Structure 1
């Protein structure tokens, strides 16, 4: 176990803390939830940076890092959908979660056929993640009643959803030659 892997495990362990804080009936709970989420988002960047700089990349980290990211984002989106209970937040949440499932399955399948590098994380995916994390930090920090900040959070979430669809199309385009191969007849 090294520092990058410990940070990734910490991100997973923060999920129940994050959920518990979300349901606490205190005025400071939204800010605490947002702070925990922001800390988890920062550890996502930090563990990758440390793994590269310290040359401590491991198969365990390569497996768990994207899982931890997807788990905490999916949990945050589900909690926000419950709190806001409207179509305007539910729609981008469905798009983002669905994309994560499709791209994860695609990457797993591409790895099985030895073509994983063709669906590696792109710059578009990094911009999507940045918009998504900022949107979630904002939306988790404030009550679900409409305000300028909720509008900014929704706007960033829609930008993230649009980038999500674009990056998914990019990954599917890269994988299409492998997906469209017809099986040999016997």
Structure 2
């Protein structure tokens, strides 16, 4: 297993997940200010999201790409997003349908990429621009929803904006999944 800064950043992203999760389960007697918890959780998530971009950039720039890094990076991304979505649904900050669409797509596309890799055609389902737009909308939506608590009587503007972006992320999620499936079908027809 190669050790370099991009892979260490990916491992850091994985290690942030339990810290991020524990914040949601701290007793009120330890931290009475739930807004502080929201800001800390959003900060940890933002740090993890930034390392997602930064590790790929550094790996390409320093020519430190590896098969292990190519495997670990998407695993870290999917773990981070799945945990965040589950916590957001559990705390009433977003809708279960959004989480099901996004997590379901991630599992489907991961399985498709694995299958295509076994056939020697992984490049046919390489990351496309639509996937990058989906990821950006999803990361910003999750960040915003982590900042706010679940609405009680009237939703606040951060919650509304976060869920509008989550809806956009879901639309892009389905669109990108259909794009990748279409690319895979082309390969099967050849």
TM over 0.5: yes
- 2:178 match: 169
TM score, norm. by length of structure 1: 0.93
Q: Which of the residues 7, 11, 14 maps onto 1:9?
A: 11
Aligned length: 179
Tell me the SS of whatever aligns to 1:84.
Answer: coil
Question: Which residues of structure 2 form unaligned runs of 5+?
Answer: none
TM score, norm. by length of structure 2: 0.91
- 2:127 match: 121
Matched, 1:84 2:89: no
Q: Which of the residues 92, 95, 106 maps onto 1:100?
A: 106
Q: Check conservation: 2:78, 2:106, Cα contact below 8 A.
A: yes
- What is the CA–CA distance in structure 2 between the aligned matches of 1:144 and 1:119, rounded to whole Å? 37
- What is the CA–CA distance in structure 2 between the aligned matches of 1:72 and 1:95, rounded to whole Å? 16
Aligned structure 1 segments of 4 or more residues deviating by more than 3 angstroms: 177-181
Matched, 1:18 2:24: no
- Return closer, same or farther for 1:180/1:94 CA change in 2, 3 Å cut-off: farther
- What is the CA–CA distance in structure 2 between the aligned matches of 1:124 and 1:108, rounded to whole Å? 20
Query: What value does the CA root-mean-square deviation take over the aligned residues?
Result: 1.3
Deviation per CA, 1:76-106, whole angstroms, max 9, x where unpaired? 0000010007xx6111111000000000000
- 1:147 match: 156
Q: Which of the residues 28, 43, 50 maps onto 1:42?
A: 50
- What is the CA–CA distance in structure 2 between the aligned matches of 1:179 and 1:68, rounded to whole Å? 29
Shift of 1:180: 6.3
- What is the CA–CA distance in structure 2 between the aligned matches of 1:73 and 1:44, rounded to whole Å? 11
Shift of 1:48: 0.4
Question: Which residues of structure 1 form unaligned runs of 5+?
Answer: 182-186
Say which is worse superposed, 25-34 or 157-166, in terms of deviation: 25-34
Q: Which of the residues 74, 81, 96 maps onto 2:82?
A: 74
